[in-house]
Amino acid sequence: MKIPTTPPNIENHISELIKQGNHNKLNQIIKFKCTDKKETYLHWDKLQHLTPPTGFTAKDYWVNIKLARQALYQELPLLDKYQKPFRFALVNFILKKLDWINQNLNIHPAIKKNIFNELMDEAISSSQLEGASTTRVIAKEMLRLGRKPTNRSEQMISNNYNAMQFIKDIKNESLTSSMIFELHRILTEGTLDNPKAAGKFRTASDNIHIVNIQNSQTLHTPPDAEQLSDRLQALCQFANDTELFIPAILKAIILHFILAYDHPFVDGNGRTARALFYWFMIKQDYWLIDFMSISAVIKQAPIQYARAFLYTETDDNDTTYLIIHQLDVMEKAIKQLHKYIEEKAHNIEKIEQSKITEQLNNRQINLLEHAIKNPNHIYTIEEHQKYHNISRQTARKDLLQMADKMQFFRKRKIGNSFVFVSPSDLKQRLKL
């Protein structure tokens, strides 16, 4: 990862064409669009290597694209560290993406029963993006059983899950600095080198630089600490402003970007920025966002996220690059969610069609569905009791029936307690 090549100054290039008396080229320039033929919103870092239209240099090509973009720019009431405004262009490509996302982010609410698993996935993925190393299986079991974290990785995952619960509690409130501090405190509890830094601004002594670990090149230096209070207040004002119309999804993305740009905390900025995105989306009634793991998609290609961030910084604060990237991430996350829902619905349908399951209750059917996807998984009475909020006697009866009477699970004794193992041939036993 390297800092993108800084684009040419369009005013300087136009002045040069005027000096050369090249008015024909100037007249043609204003006819170009702000994207290429494929509707790709290119940065100079890539465009300079493409073949420009006949009769134009790469710089000519860049100038015409920038002029077209300037006609669409909408300035934001949010400034960079040099007090210059951020902006974005509402190009056709973005409008198409927004339309697709809005249509596919509204699925029948019957799937809400699956919310616990999906919230766990988001808690895990968001933490892994920050460096948590606990495996997904161990993490899910920790959250499922409600046991306390035993290391930093598990603590980060637990914190992310708790933050998602906090977000739902404050979804109807106006954003304040104290809410962001509390969100950061929840996300970083037990994970910071200096525990006192949780929920507090970094100070002037905290030298923050985002560095490429491969060559030690500084990629981003956030605003000075003395600017942070005013900047966070401006961020809250932007979040609460109902007069300035910006599509809700874009506003959520911009909130995410600005907090990441400001890097107001010593650590945990990425987690807090993503949590802020979720808060605004949930506030705008995009309830399905509860189920989506945005972090999991970013985790698959973190360099693309960093590059979009740098494109914005190096091209006149044009956040369109970051917006497009995040919309792509959302689209992938929605498609993954749709696939998950289809698979889950298919599994449930197959299980419910089995005559054997007529003898089972909903809790036991839920267990079977999980067991089919997790051969050799170990279930305990305590886990089943906590997950379904039932008495120990009821949990014990559920599992013993599935093991002793129906032979769906293998029963084993460890110490004074029984555990129940899902066999690898469960599908055959169920005749699915």
Digit-coded pLDDT (tens) for 274-322: 999 999 999 999 877 877 777 777 777 788 988 999 999 999 999 999 9
In a domain, 278, yes or no: yes
Q: Is residue 352 part of a domain?
A: no
The per-residue pLDDT for range 218-263, each reduced to its tens digit, is 888 999 999 999 999 999 999 999 999 999 999 999 999 999 999 9
Share of the chain above pLDDT 70, in %: 85
Least confident of 63-77, 169-183, 192-206, 338-352: 338-352
SS3 for 334? helix
Q: For residue 272, tell me if it sits in a domain.
A: yes
Region 181-202: what's the mean pLDDT?
95
Please report which helix (H) or strand (E) contains residue 66, including its range: helix 58-70
Picking from 30, 36, 40, the residue whose alpha carbon sits closest to that of residue 68 is 30
Does a structural domain hold residue 252?
yes
pLDDT of residue 22: 60
Q: Do 288 and 174 touch, CB atoms closer than 8 A?
A: no
Residue 402, phi-psi category: left (phi > 0), alpha (psi -120 to 50), beta (remainder): alpha
pLDDT, position 114: 47
pLDDT mean over 86-105? 92
Q: Do 66 and 86 fall into the same domain?
A: no
Say what the pLDDT of residue 95 is. 94
Given pLDDT bands bounded at 50, 70 and 90, which one contains residue 354?
Answer: low
Which tens digits make up the pLDDT trace of 321-335?
Answer: 999 999 999 999 888
Alpha-carbon gap, residue 391 to 393, rounded angstroms: 5
9-23, 90-104, 383-397: which has the minimum mean pLDDT?
9-23
Instruction: Specify if 336 maps to a domain.
Output: yes
Tokens of 181: 């501090």
419: which residues sit within 8 A by CB, 6+ positions away?
378, 379, 380, 411, 412, 413
3-state SS, 121-177, equals HHHHHHHHHCCCCCCHHHHHHHHHHCCCCCCHHHHHHHHHHHHHHHHHHCCCCCCCH
Q: Rg (Cα) of the chain, in Å, rounded?
A: 26
Mean pLDDT score across all residues of the chain: 84
Q: Is residue 401 located within the same domain as residue 308? A: no
Q: Give the H or E element holding residue 305.
A: helix 302-314
Strand, coil or helix: 195: helix
pLDDT at 10 over 80: no
Token digits for 405? 């009477």
- 247: three-class secondary structure by DSSP: coil
- The amino acid at residue 43 is H
Is residue 184 within 8 A of residue 162, CB to CB? The reply is: no
Domain containing 395 — which CATH number?
A: 1.10.10.10
Q: 41-57 pLDDT, tens per residue?
A: 999 999 999 888 888 88
Q: What is the pLDDT of residues 100-140, one digit of tens each?
A: 999 888 654 444 444 455 556 666 777 777 777 777 777 77
30 has pLDDT over 50: no
Which stretches within 218-293 are classed as H helix? Answer: 228-240, 248-262, 269-283
Residue 129 CA to residue 9 CA, distance in Å, equals: 36
Same domain, 114 and 251: yes
User: What is the tally of structural domains in the chain?
Assistant: 3
Q: Provide the residue range defining the domain that includes 220.
A: 77-340
- Looking at the fold, whether 57 and 202 belong to one and the same domain comes out as no
Q: Which of 340, 366, 394 is the last residue of a domain?
A: 340
Q: Which residues contact 172 (CB under 8 A, 6 or more apart)?
A: 283
CA 144, 146, 148, 152 torsion: positive or negative?
A: positive
Q: At residue 217, does pLDDT exceed 90?
A: no
Enclosing H/E stretch for 74: strand 73-79
**224 and 331: one domain?**
yes
Residues 232 and 371 in one domain: no
Same domain (yes/no): 83, 232: yes
Q: What does the pLDDT average to over 371-396?
A: 88
Q: Is residue 108 in a domain?
A: yes
Q: Is residue 182 assigned to a domain?
A: yes
Of the residues 71, 88, 118, the one at which a domain ends: 71
CA distance linking residue 98 with residue 134, whole number of Å: 35
- Which of 124, 145, 140 minimizes the C-alpha distance to 387? 145
> Which residue, 50, 71, 92, sits at the end of a domain?
71
The residues, ordered by sequence, that sit 6+ positions from 212 with a Cβ below 8 Å of its Cβ are 1, 2, 218, 219
Amino acid letter at 315? Answer: D
Would you say 109 and 144 are in contact if contact means Cβ atoms under 8 Å apart?
A: no
pLDDT recorded at residue 7: 85
Looking up residue 137, the CATH number of its domain turns out to be 1.10.3290.10
**Distance, CA of 64 to CA of 24 (rounded, Å):** 13
Residue 347 lies in a domain: no
φ/ψ of residue 131, rounded to 5: 115, 0
**pTM, rounded to two decimals:** 0.78
pLDDT of 23 higher than 80: no
Residues 265 and 325 in one domain: yes
Do 187 and 48 sit in the same domain of this protein?
A: no
pLDDT at residue 53 in the model: 81
Question: Residue 175 and residue 170: Cα distance in Å, rounded?
Answer: 9
Residues 6+ apart with CB under 8 A from 67: 10, 29, 30, 32
Tell me, yes or no, whether 127 and 202 share the same domain. yes
Q: Looking at the structure, tell me whether residues 328 and 375 fall in a common domain.
A: no
Q: What are phi and psi of 38, to 5 degrees?
A: -90, 10
400/274 same-domain check: no
3-state DSSP call for residue 238?
A: helix
